[in-house]
Amino acid sequence: MMYPDKEDHALAEKDRRPDVSLPALGFVGTLRWAWTQLTSMRTALFLLLLLAVAAVPGSLFPQRPANPAVVTQYIRNNPEAGPVLDWFQLFDVYSSVWFSAIYLLLFISLIGCVIPRAMVHARAVRSKPPRTPRRLSRMPVYGTLAIPGGDVTAGSAVTDAAAMLKKRGYRVDVRDEDGKTPSVGAERGFTKELGNLIFHVSLIGVLVSVAAGGLFGYRGQKILVEGDTFVNTLVGYDSFNPGTNFSDNQLEPYSVTLDNFDVRFDRQLTHYGQPIDFTATMTTKAGPDAEPEEQILKVNAPLTIGGTSVYLVGNGYAPVVTVRDGDGNIAYQGPVVSIPQDGLFTSLVVIKVPDAQPDQLGFVGFFLPTAAVDENGVSFSRDPDPFLPQLNLNSYYGDLGLDDGEPKNVYVLDTEELTELNSRNSDDGGIVLDAGETQELPDGKGSITFDGLRRYVALDITHDPAQVGALVFSSLALAGLSASLFIGRRRAWVRAGTHDDGRVMVEYGLLARGEDHRLAGEGGALDKLFRERWLADTAPTDEHGDMETSSARSSRQPHGKDN
């Protein structure tokens, strides 16, 4: 019995005891803990999800590598939010510090996950199947056979079982644990873990390929009019997006000439005017001294030359015009690319003539492949084919704003600082030109002639040195994932012993690693093999005289553990 004063003394002593303190991790311990956290599968999955989320701003905001002029205009239109977004690198998402950090961490995490698992898998492949459990009846699938005495012994039954299991793809190990009850342990399904490793290694390969493509690849766009030639140089592109480590030496000096572009339109009433086929006939030269070669370019059938793939991504009409200035000199002559606005190829036309004298000239309006006029006097296109091509334009003069060094969109004419010459609302009316016609501009400012019509194609030219690697690794990842999902990891044991009456008693059990709904079917297949080998003319019965199969026995066995 403890008296109150002694109890108070004990409590006081307990309060004076120092608190238990955990040892400090230290610098090395902290690094080891951080590495363990980074290389866990949970972290890898989180980083993969984070990478997908981090890519979302790239589709919400204009990106500077794709179109710097659009980014500049966006910041100008949003003077408060624009600089903040730019500070967070939301206009350069895929080359930003935070996106690159997530990418590299995911790369390191996957490597840290794969290497230890590969080492564990290598040891498991070299190791023997696990020992035979004492009570096979605890296995999820369990069966027994009674073989009549004769030529079959316990040892020969185990040897036969090992041979049958080996034929079914098991890795077997015959053992005699106590000298009286021989058994065989078998295991299969190592391809499941191998597929899992292949999937993760292939995912790393895909990341490396994408990174290599971003570093050393490039992409450009070019609008090519019939009869014109594109040479693979920087100045030849309309827009160009180089990789981070791009060098001019990567550009092979090939050339592509658009000889002819043919479009077929549907003439059935149900789908009238819809395009059926696009065919671009092109002459290519792999180098300045190479022989020309004729090639065909179609949608979804790119042209490959000089390590690049040339895709057909658009097309339209390019009216050929001649503009003379107020002094009577030719200020502009050639095709003008028009932008289709609808399925009938009603196209927007913008013509800028900065070399006109004494005033610069500008034109904006529409090109109509097959011109018609409705009851309100409004012109429209009746057909996408150029049966009656016509230009409908407004004309202006003044400063086009091209001399101040600020980039301008070639397909937009800013008329705020210009003086109108022709329009539907002016006394002189708008400019309406059929092919071959000329119209004089008011006030002696010059003239414009519609000389003819050509077609043009919009080309997307890409060079991705890692696309083959990305394809190979993606295919391997799919194959590895399929193997990890559909191949089962299983273990099987067969034990044989001799009964007092001379019969050989065989029992077997199967265990799956994880969920495997096909395990019972595997047990039935093994039972059939065993019966065909040992009981070709007889059928076993249980103690009540009823026939008993392994599948029936298995259905009454509880799920056990590998003990």
List the chain pLDDT tens, one digit each, 563 residues. Answer: 445 555 555 555 555 555 666 667 778 888 888 888 888 878 888 988 998 899 898 888 888 876 777 888 888 888 888 899 889 888 888 888 898 899 889 888 888 888 888 888 888 888 888 888 989 999 999 999 998 877 888 888 999 999 999 999 999 999 876 656 899 999 998 888 889 889 988 988 988 888 888 888 888 899 999 999 999 998 889 888 888 788 888 888 899 999 999 999 888 877 788 888 899 999 999 888 889 999 999 988 999 998 899 999 989 999 999 999 999 899 999 999 999 998 899 999 999 999 999 999 999 999 999 999 888 888 889 899 999 999 999 999 998 888 776 777 788 888 888 999 988 888 778 899 999 999 999 989 999 999 999 999 999 999 988 888 899 999 999 999 998 888 888 999 999 988 888 888 999 999 998 888 889 999 999 999 999 988 875 544 444 333 334 443 443 343 444 43
Tell me if 426 is assigned to some domain. Answer: yes
Q: Is the peptide bond before 358 cis (omega within 30 degrees of 0)?
A: yes
Tell me if 204 is assigned to some domain. Answer: no
Same domain? For 284 and 321 the reply is no
Same domain? For 167 and 35 the reply is no
Report angle CA 264, 265, 270 to the nearest 5 degrees: 150
Are the CB atoms for 393 and 349 separated by under 8 Å?
yes
Are the CB atoms for 170 and 189 separated by under 8 Å?
no
Tell me if 232 is assigned to some domain. Answer: yes
Are the CB atoms for 336 and 455 separated by under 8 Å?
no
* 3-state secondary structure labels for all residues of 146-210: EECCCCCCHHHHHHHHHHHHHHCCCEEEEEECCCCCEEEEEEECHHHHHHHHHHHHHHHHHHHHH
Tell me if 302 is assigned to some domain. Answer: yes
Same domain? For 548 and 432 the reply is no
| CATH code, 181 | 3.30.160.110
Cα→Cα distances 297→277, 286, 371, 490, Å: 11, 16, 30, 53
Beta bridge partners, 407, equal none
Same domain? For 533 and 550 the reply is yes
Same domain? For 330 and 268 the reply is no
Same domain? For 322 and 452 the reply is yes
Same domain? For 415 and 335 the reply is yes
Number of domains in the chain: 4
* The dihedral formed by the CA atoms of 87, 88, 89 and 93, expressed in degrees to the nearest 10: -170
Same domain? For 51 and 95 the reply is yes
Among residues 95, 123, 151, the one where a domain terminates is 123
Same domain? For 255 and 170 the reply is no
Give the residue numbers spanning the domain of 251: 212-310+460-476
Same domain? For 333 and 449 the reply is yes
Tell me if 11 is assigned to some domain. Answer: no
Among residues 446, 476, 506, the one where a domain terminates is 476
Same domain? For 471 and 454 the reply is no
Tell me if 195 is assigned to some domain. Answer: no
Tell me if 7 is assigned to some domain. Answer: no
Sign of CA pseudo-dihedral 288, 293, 299, 300: negative
Tell me if 259 is assigned to some domain. Answer: yes
Same domain? For 329 and 454 the reply is yes
